[in-house]
């Protein structure tokens, strides 16, 4: 757990106070404590190293300028607050990525489509245990990239991170009902995408 | 296994496949994440970005101020012109009424309630001599009686 400092170390809230008072080195200490956590959040959404680093950088920059809005009361809340910023930064990047012309290049090549079709076909016809089946990370990421950013976000938080609806609502700032509706639509979209390759 | 057959697969099974895809996309994320978190000079790059963003915000602050001033100058000029016009108009009309008022106050006699007050109450243009003449004439008439 990278958020719990030793007894003689200042708490996150104390470091935040120091940063507010103008001590820049306190922010570096906060970064040291939480960088692994933020990088893990980013890595759930993006496979490439440069994308993950971009999210990490953006998260800490946003956190720095938003420190005045942080109203922490207990030790874990800074980590939760930072995770919220990281998820939002990832969501922004997913939307930006969709608008870029390179996004079209992310579509599956013919070979990849054939490989995926055969893989899924085998799972379906042989009644193979889906959970034990393997799909390469790149291929899976390309499939997910065909969904809306909101769908990607909610499915990743639900299925990869294992968050509850309430937790996702808290992380994204959406209402619980919006998360449920979004999750329902996201699953339907993913079903449509998968059917294309079956 | 295309077309109709694909639709035979239950939604539940497709959802399980979907979960597999999502988990596969996020798999081995820890390795990549740890590599990024351990990369040297990461904080230096963040600090540089913070500095750049701070400078940009300051520049934007000045630009915003300039933009506000740019829009405010014509508005202020119009307001000043209207204020000057109003001041001139009030000044001219005020001066006219002040002249009339001065004449009235100078000629009216608040102590008496007789002819002078009555005559001047209609703001006539009588001179001091006229008034004096009227008073003298009245006194003479009364003394002849």
Beta-strand (E) ranges in B42-143?
Answer: none
Asked if the Cβ–Cβ distance from B43 to A28 is below 8 Å, we say yes
Report the first-to-last Cα separation within chain B, whole angstroms. Answer: 140
- Report yes or no: B24 at the A interface, CB cutoff 8 Å: yes
Average pLDDT score over residue span B46-62: 90
Model pTM? 0.66
pLDDT band at residue B1 under the 50/70/90 scheme: very low
Burial of B39 from C-beta contacts in 10 A (0-12 / 13-18 / 19+): middle
State chain B's mean pLDDT as an integer: 77
Residues whose CB is less than 8 angstroms from the CB of residue A192 and which lie 6 or more positions away in sequence, other chains included: none
Exposure of A160 in the CB half-sphere (CA atoms within 13 A): 28
- Looking at residue B126, its pLDDT comes to 74
Asked if the Cβ–Cβ distance from B39 to A155 is below 8 Å, we say no
Report the first-to-last Cα separation within chain A, whole angstroms. Answer: 42
Cβ atoms A30, A12 nearer than 8 A: yes
User: Lowest mean pLDDT: which of A67-81, A179-193, B115-129?
Assistant: B115-129
Cβ atoms A97, A48 nearer than 8 A: no
Interface test with A, best of B19, B32, B38 (most A CBs within 10 A): B32
ipTM, 2 dp: 0.77
- Looking at residue A106, its pLDDT comes to 61
Span B99-131, pLDDT tens digits: 555 555 555 555 555 555 555 555 556 788 888
Asked if the Cβ–Cβ distance from A120 to B17 is below 8 Å, we say yes
Q: Compute how many other C-beta atoms are within 10 angstroms of the C-beta atom of residue B30.
A: 14
Cβ atoms A56, B36 nearer than 8 A: yes
- Report yes or no: B18 at the A interface, CB cutoff 8 Å: yes
Cβ atoms B10, A182 nearer than 8 A: no
Cβ atoms A81, A70 nearer than 8 A: yes
| 3-state DSSP of A78-143 | HHHHHHHHHHHHHHHHHHHHHHCHHHHHHCCCHHHHHHHHHHHHHHHHCCCCHHHCCCCHHHHHHH
Average pLDDT score over residue span B60-89: 86
Most confident of A68-77, B87-96, B116-125: B87-96
Residue A157 to chain B, least CA–CA distance (Å): 10
- Report yes or no: B10 at the A interface, CB cutoff 8 Å: no
- Looking at residue A118, its pLDDT comes to 73
Asked if the Cβ–Cβ distance from A53 to B34 is below 8 Å, we say no
- Looking at residue A39, its pLDDT comes to 95
pLDDT band at residue A75 under the 50/70/90 scheme: very low
- Report yes or no: A26 at the B interface, CB cutoff 8 Å: no
Span A96-121, pLDDT tens digits: 988 876 665 566 677 777 777 777 76
- Looking at residue B106, its pLDDT comes to 53
- Report yes or no: B1 at the A interface, CB cutoff 8 Å: yes
Asked if the Cβ–Cβ distance from A191 to B33 is below 8 Å, we say no
| CA angle, A176 then B15 then A191, to 5° | 95
Q: Could you tell me which chain A residue has the CA closest to the CA of B29?
A: A43
Asked if the Cβ–Cβ distance from A35 to B34 is below 8 Å, we say no
Average pLDDT score over residue span A52-65: 96
Residue B62 to chain A, least CA–CA distance (Å): 19
pLDDT band at residue A176 under the 50/70/90 scheme: very high
């Amino acid at each position: 757990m990278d958020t719990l400092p030793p007894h003689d170390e200042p708490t996150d809230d104390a470091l935040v106070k120091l940063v507010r008072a103008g001590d820049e080195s306190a922010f570096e200490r906060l970064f040291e404590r939480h960088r692994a956590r933020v990088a893990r959040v980013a890595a759930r959404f993006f496979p490439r190293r440069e994308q993950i680093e971009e999210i990490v950088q953006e998260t800490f920059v946003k956190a720095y300028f938003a420190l005045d809005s942080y109203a922490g009361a207990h030790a874990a809340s800074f980590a939760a607050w930072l995770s919220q910023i990281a998820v939002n930064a990832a969501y922004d990047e997913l939307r930006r990525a969709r608008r870029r012309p390179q996004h079209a290049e992310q579509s599956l090549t013919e070979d990849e489509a054939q490989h995926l079709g055969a893989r899924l076909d085998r799972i379906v016809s042989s009644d193979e245990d889906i959970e034990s089946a393997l799909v390469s990370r790149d291929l899976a990421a390309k499939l997910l990239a065909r969904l809306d950013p909101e769908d990607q976000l909610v499915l990743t938080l639900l299925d990869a991170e294992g968050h509850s609806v309430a937790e996702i609502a808290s992380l994204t700032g959406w209402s619980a009902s919006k998360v449920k509706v979004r999750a329902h639509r996201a699953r339907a979209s993913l079903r449509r995408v998968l059917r294309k390759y079956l | 296994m295309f077309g109709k057959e694909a639709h035979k697969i239950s939604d539940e099974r497709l959802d399980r496949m979907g979960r597999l895809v999502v988990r596969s996309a996020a798999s081995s994320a820890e390795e990549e994440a740890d590599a990024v978190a351990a990369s040297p000079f990461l904080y230096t790059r963040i600090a540089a970005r913070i500095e750049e963003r701070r400078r940009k915000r300051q520049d934007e602050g000045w630009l915003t101020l300039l933009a506000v001033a740019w829009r405010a100058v014509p508005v202020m000029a119009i307001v000043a012109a209207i204020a000057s016009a109003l001041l001139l108009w009030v000044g001219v009309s005020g001066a006219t009424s002040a002249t009339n008022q001065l004449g009235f106050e100078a000629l009216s006699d608040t102590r008496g309630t007789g002819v002078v007050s009555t005559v001047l109450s209609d703001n006539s243009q009588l001179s001091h001599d006229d008034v004096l003449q009227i008073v003298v004439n009245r006194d003479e008439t009364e003394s002849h009686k």
